[in-house]
Structure 1
Amino acid sequence: LDYDTVLKKVTELTTHVLSSDNCWLEMINHSTRSSEIKSWQGLKKPSPEKKTDKDENGLSHWVVQNKYSILINSVSKDTRARALKSRERDLNSLLAVPLISKGDVIGILYAAKKTEFGFDNEDREMLQAFANQATMAIENANLLKESIERERLAQELKVAHDTQLKLLPKEMPRFNGLDIGGVCMTANEVGGDYYGFVSLDDSHLGILMGDVSGKGISAAFYMAELKGIAEAYGKIYRSPKELLMQINSVLYRNTDRQTFVSLIYAIFDLEKNQVIFSRAGHCPLLIVSGKTGKLQALQPPGIGLGLDEGPIFNRVLEERKLSLQMNDVFLFYTDGVTEARNPEGIEFGEARLKALLEKSSQKSAEEIRQDIVEQLVNFTSTAKRHDDLSILVVKKTG
């Protein structure tokens, strides 16, 4: 039997065995310090609001504190039952027994009758024995419920993981004059990292990298939507700013307000040897000059996609134009890189990433990518990764 069915069965059997007029099962949540009636028979108000443990004079509080049963044969004369009597005026005798697991009261089983002196100590002992058996049944049902939930979440993560891998490019594009290396390392909890390419013509290549807020199947779904929009509009709008404005307009209409996307989009123009890019709340674009070896982090204004309908987003967003010279190195990345933590909880950080990029800038794009990944793996060691991390290295070669 499932968890809810077991709870219902407990109150049904109690009502039948004790010939009670009313019965209810109140489950205790120690983490929130509250209780809630989960199953009932015959109550006038079968779904009362959650109660907190602030009512120190109430029945529930007494049972939880004493871990002992209550037998009341004249409800109107017992101050602990005052709140119950005001709500259920026709109840006059009451039994309340705790459900105890590992030393804690996890629930309270109540039985009540309209007549006074409706129960005796034999009823009390019988109900406590039944409650002990019910506790085991409830715990087993709860374990099954948790197991099913874990299995469902595992399946959802697998679907999200598979979806994410299908959306990412299977290989780096071969583009004359550019050397490209990239990777997306998915976390145990699948996030929404995405990168892709828009081949505009033989001398223009669009590169985008984004990070969808949230995790699991919903993040994968929005990532698929982002990919579709970017590919559809990428060849229409040759301005990064214009493209991001269009993507934002579509996403705002089709996502909930709790979801947003950070994104950076750059067009490499090998005809004019320039790069034009805009960023919507994404990580800075790191660039190492092939001429001087100096690194700069560019972070022009821009807010995340889907946060604003358009007026604020369009006004804040900027487009930058850079010259493109031989051996210039560009690094696109998501915050999973800089926020990766070691076992001591220390973040990898932007400073460490910048230093590594400067040191490796003479190498090929793929070698630079490998250096960054190797350093990240060594740094995080045995620490569990909670976010995806994505890296794209682009180097001007001709």
Structure 2
Amino acid sequence: MSKPAQPREAEDTSVTAIPSTHGEGLLVETLLGVAASLNRSGDFESLLANILHGARAVMRCAACSISLPDAASGDLLIHSTQRDWKKEGAWRLPKGQGIAGRVFESREAVNTSDAAKHPEHYRRTGQDAGLATQALLTIPLLDGEHCRGVMQAMNPEDREHFGTEDMRIFMAFGALVSVTLGRREAEEQAKARAVEEAERKVEMELARQVQETFLPEPRATHGPLRMQAYLEQATGIGGDCYFFHSPNPHLLLAGVGDVTGKGSSAALDMARLTTQIALTASQCVPEKFSAWLATLNNTLYQAMHAGDNAAALTVLLFDLKHRRVQASAFAQAPPLFRSRENGTWQEIACPRQPFFGQRRLTECKVASMALGSGTHWLAQSDGILEAVIKDGSELGREGLLGILNDAAWHESTDIETLVTKWRALLKDGARDDATLLLLMDATPPPASVFEAACTPESIRDARKFCESWLDFAGFDKNAKVQILVGCDEVLTNILKHAYGIDQPPGPITCTAAMEPAKLRFTIKHRGRGISQEEAAAQAHSGAREEGGMGLALVRRVFTHVHFHAAASTREESEITLEKELVG
């Protein structure tokens, strides 16, 4: 409790004092009675009424008032015994005006025997009250350094003006009022916090239910594709999501979203995002993937742009018919894939674009790769990469690649294995929403090697070997015919010219390998090979009798052709044929 402030102005302190024994006892009894009544007060209006009733009883005066600040304007709202403020409302004293305004700002009491002559007297209040204010005692209601308001006692009943003893009594009463108001404010704040907490819990539970409604089961299959998802919300609910939809039997739309922010707001925006994806998934086709993304972005633009949240998004479209994967990333790191050729994890060459739904778009950047060039795909939210590891740094892209490349990959690899390895690196657990989406293509690839003695019969088998890889790579019928003609030409030339028709058959080996953007055949033999320069010359001359039959056609069919002639029959000559995969 603050030390009572001394009056700035006391014009006459020679007033009749309350007798030392009976007067002090009366004061204590009155204050205790007032305190009890204040403690019993239910609503705030009743509390103010009890304060004013007690103040008149203690100060033995014609009227009392209490002025409390209006938080919105800074004005003082005056509640007086001279006015039925419950019905008519409080008087409003403009900020800084009148004696009360001065006391509220200065924290110093004012005692005047003629308020009407005081230079800071606010006449309008006296006129409204219908009471000619003469003697006026004004005190601040101090609670530490905080001033909760002002109290005034007007026109003492049995004395001409207020004296030192009145000041002491009124300051003691004011201290009691300050404590009561402080306690009341603390109680109201506690109640408000309890209500807010209850509302927050209800809102969080509602948002959690909404979120769960729009998230699919974390494990699913679609034909040869296997999906596994892991999602951890930092606050129980949040803005991360994963999704997968099947627009038709040969397509799978999958991805990860991350709405910025936390709690129910992010969860509801996440629900909006996943709902729009679900509603429009049937319109997503490979040839219009970019346009579909732009339309989805523009649909969400108004809602996302108007709010404080933004969406990061990674989307993958798997086309089983054409054996292609398309990918697009917005404010997230590009998705990863595990190479079928060497088993290492790499980024899809997917340009990173700004947040989704934050501006209107006419098209979106999309990367395309062969489905057969990978065995697994992974999309993740930033909560995975930005998690702090034990040395105090963030995991980052390299850390995630380390986890992936150290794992033993096979058809039964579980996403929980990755999560366990990720968690083991963290310093204090995840600090943000974190999501992983793992997809695997269980389509068995053709044999990667064909070996046989080079005969007309084995050439037909080698042709079937090449055709199986063209199917796995997703080439259409016309492209397959052209490529197979080119393969036939190379194989036939090995039989006729490298070994010779009349000679014993020699060995031939064909291997196939997939890269994200091309298919590569490598054909090896131990016959008479030709160099790159010789092959170019023969293709240019078109001289069939020199062994260059159809080499010009081979060069037209394949994106890249390379010949390597062995120095002797102890080594293998080699022909490399590469064909780009056109999206």
- TM tier, shorter chain? 0.7 to 0.9
Q: CA deviation at 1:125?
A: 1.0
Match of 1:96 among 140, 143, 146: 140
State the match for 1:267 in structure 2: 317
Please say if 1:24 is aligned against 2:24.
Answer: no
Q: CA deviation at 1:196?
A: 1.1
TM-score, with structure 1 as normaliser: 0.76
The 1-side partners of 2:250 and 2:188 are apart by: 63
State the match for 1:109 in structure 2: 149
Letter in 2 for 1:295: Q
State the match for 1:150 in structure 2: 197
Letter in 2 for 1:177: P
Q: CA deviation at 1:394?
A: 1.3
Please say if 1:254 is aligned against 2:299.
Answer: no
Q: Deviations over 1:171-207 (max 9, x none)?
A: 4221233232211112225211111112122322111
Stretch moving more, 114-123 or 143-152? 114-123
Cα RMSD after superposing both structures: 3.8
State the match for 1:55 in structure 2: none
The 2-side partners of 1:173 and 1:75 are apart by: 87
Match of 2:420 among 369, 374, 382: 374
Q: CA deviation at 1:86?
A: 8.3
Cα distance change, pair 85–273 in 1 and its aligned pair in 2 (3 A): farther
Gaps of 5+ in 1: 29-33, 50-57, 64-69
State the match for 2:452 in structure 1: none
> Of the two structures, which has the highest relative contact order with CA contacts closer than 8 Å and spacing of 6 or more?
1
Please say if 1:284 is aligned against 2:334.
Answer: yes
The 2-side partners of 1:344 and 1:151 are apart by: 39
State the match for 2:433 in structure 1: 388
Cα distance change, pair 107–158 in 1 and its aligned pair in 2 (3 A): farther
Task: Check whether the contact 1:200–1:235 (CA below 8 A) recurs between aligned residues.
Answer: yes
Gaps of 5+ in 2: 1-37, 57-62, 81-89, 97-101, 127-132, 444-583
Letter in 2 for 1:374: T
Task: Check whether the contact 2:387–2:395 (CA below 8 A) recurs between aligned residues.
Answer: yes
The 2-side partners of 1:75 and 1:188 are apart by: 63
Q: Deviations over 1:21-61 (max 9, x none)?
A: 64233599xxxxx9967975377546869xxxxxxxx7567
Cα distance change, pair 381–153 in 1 and its aligned pair in 2 (3 A): farther
State the match for 2:540 in structure 1: none
Cα distance change, pair 44–25 in 1 and its aligned pair in 2 (3 A): closer
The 2-side partners of 1:86 and 1:365 are apart by: 85
Match of 1:197 among 244, 249, 260: 244
Task: Check whether the contact 1:74–1:93 (CA below 8 A) recurs between aligned residues.
Answer: yes
Count of residues in correspondence between the two structures: 363
Q: Percent identity?
A: 17
Please say if 1:314 is aligned against 2:362.
Answer: yes
The 2-side partners of 1:362 and 1:354 are apart by: 13
The 2-side partners of 1:7 and 1:75 are apart by: 32
1:224-263 maps to which residues of 2 (within 5 A)? 224-238=271-285, 239-255=288-304, 256-263=306-313
The 2-side partners of 1:87 and 1:321 are apart by: 82
Task: Check whether the contact 2:79–2:91 (CA below 8 A) recurs between aligned residues.
Answer: no
Q: CA deviation at 1:250?
A: 1.6
TM-score, with structure 2 as normaliser: 0.54
Q: Give the 3-state SS of the residue equivalent to 1:318 in structure 2.
A: coil
Q: Give the 3-state SS of the residue equivalent to 2:198 in structure 1.
A: helix
Task: Check whether the contact 2:142–2:178 (CA below 8 A) recurs between aligned residues.
Answer: yes
Q: Give the 3-state SS of the residue equivalent to 2:283 in structure 1.
A: coil
Q: Give the 3-state SS of the residue equivalent to 1:120 in structure 2.
A: helix
Cα distance change, pair 237–295 in 1 and its aligned pair in 2 (3 A): closer
Q: Give the 3-state SS of the residue equivalent to 1:73 in structure 2.
A: strand
The 2-side partners of 1:46 and 1:357 are apart by: 71
Cα distance change, pair 188–301 in 1 and its aligned pair in 2 (3 A): closer
The 1-side partners of 2:122 and 2:268 are apart by: 51
Task: Check whether the contact 1:6–1:137 (CA below 8 A) recurs between aligned residues.
Answer: no
State the match for 2:32 in structure 1: none
Task: Check whether the contact 2:141–2:177 (CA below 8 A) recurs between aligned residues.
Answer: no
Q: CA deviation at 1:289?
A: 1.4
Larger Rg belongs to: 2
Q: CA deviation at 1:164?
A: 1.2
Task: Check whether the contact 2:258–2:312 (CA below 8 A) recurs between aligned residues.
Answer: yes
Match of 1:300 among 348, 351, 357: 351
The 2-side partners of 1:343 and 1:73 are apart by: 67
The 1-side partners of 2:383 and 2:123 are apart by: 54
Q: CA deviation at 1:11?
A: 4.3
Match of 1:122 among 169, 172, 193: 169
Q: CA deviation at 1:258?
A: 2.0
Task: Check whether the contact 1:240–1:265 (CA below 8 A) recurs between aligned residues.
Answer: no
Letter in 1 for 2:362: N
The 1-side partners of 2:385 and 2:366 are apart by: 24
Q: CA deviation at 1:318?
A: 0.6
Task: Check whether the contact 1:75–1:94 (CA below 8 A) recurs between aligned residues.
Answer: no
